[in-house]
Amino acid sequence: MSFYIPADTCKTVRTGGLPPGTGYYAVEITQFEDRGVLDRQGNYSYFIHLRFPDGGTTKEIGSLPFNSDGELAPALQAMDEQIRNKKIGGMVGALKRVALSTGITNEYMNENGLSTEHLVGRTGYIAWLGRPNDVPDGLRVYGELQDWLKKDHFDKLVAEGKQPADNRKF
């Protein structure tokens, strides 16, 4: 007995694997996942799923002040306006860095807003910290996204052969 996997299926299925070592990588944003829960501060929580060029995957957690309908998180509604604006700025700024990395401009976002749906399938550029050498046995550490980069900055760092600085200690 034998089995046959059609070529179309073989093209679309990846073997996955662990994320690579420390370096600069062009990654595909494969999904924004609504975690369906609020974070500890009462904001909407999501995972951004990433695929590395070698097929390895990872996900990063984040928080947003607005849900898919643009409604403000309940915890933020109850805050003083100055504190609320500071918190909104931090969360939105983090997502804007992702968008800028994929080539979406500030001008576009300022005119149209930003839906995470527009980021899925796009390529972003990151500084990635792989598993450190000094991780004690038994501790599960796979890596960490250090920063989102604009493509021109990414290209310059890669051309210069630079590596992200990893100051983590375990």
Residue 63 pLDDT > 80, yes or no?
yes
Residue 106 is inside which H or E element, if any? helix 106-112
pLDDT for 16 beyond 70: no
pTM (two decimals): 0.84
pLDDT at 134 over 80: no
- Strands (E) in the chain, as ranges, are 23-38, 44-51, 57-64, 123-129, 144-149
**Amino acid letter at 87?**
K
